[in-house]
Structure formats: C-alpha cells, structure tokens
Amino acid sequence: MKHIQLYNDDQLPMMGLGLWKIPGANAPNAVHEAIGVGYRHLDSACDYGNETEVGQGISRALSDGLCRREELWVTSKLWNTYHRREHVRPALERTLLDLGLDHLDLYLIHFLLLEGIPMGYHL
C-alpha cells in the first residue's frame, strides 16, 4: 500500500477504511477483515456510534497477528459538541477507551461551526 510521508516522517496510508454507517454489530468483523486484506488506515469518529466495536475488531486483528499497532494508522474525530476546552480531553479519553488504544495517529475536529463566520472562510 502506498503512503504519504508527513513532515515528521510518519507514514500515512493513502487508502483507508471509512467506518461511518457500519452498524456496530458488523464493525468488529469488518475491521478484522479489512486489516486481514491489507488496510492499515482506519477512519473513525465518536459520532459514528461504533468505536467500541471497531476497537474489538482492532484488538482481534492485533491478537491474531495480522499486524502490529505500529503498522496501523487510526484516525478519529472530535464531535462538534465537544469543542470547548474542558470537553476535548474527556472526549479523546472516551474515544481511546472505546477503541481500546493508548493513542491515535490523527485526531481531527469533525467539523467546525463558527457563529457569524461562513464555512470556507480562512481565519
């Protein structure tokens, strides 16, 4: 699989599995199977409602020896109701707990709504 080399030498897999709309009951097997066929980038978000099950799939893939954690790139996203400073850390900690991980490779703001500032406006 091809990667994009980032400025800090991290390697971001160019293709990833988007986990939106995968029902929780299907997520463990979907993630396990995807890792088994070579996917190394998993794109998740707390708002998808399946991070616990995604974590089960990751855990099973790791314990089955399909890859090492260092070979995975796991992205998640901070939902828009958790943007206040005091909500960010608890939201991240919940995501890590749900995924069964000790770190994420990328944590994004899911989307940003600024009152009075149109989307696409660069601050």
Crossing angle for the helix pair 85-99 and 51-63, to the nearest 10 degrees: 40
Distance CA 92, CA 88 (A): 6
Report the helix count and the strand count for the chain, using DSSP H and E.
Answer: 3, 6
Amino acid present at 57: G
Q: Which of 48, 82, 107, 121 is catalytic?
A: 48
Q: Is 82 a catalytic residue?
A: no
Q: Catalogue the active-site residues.
A: 48
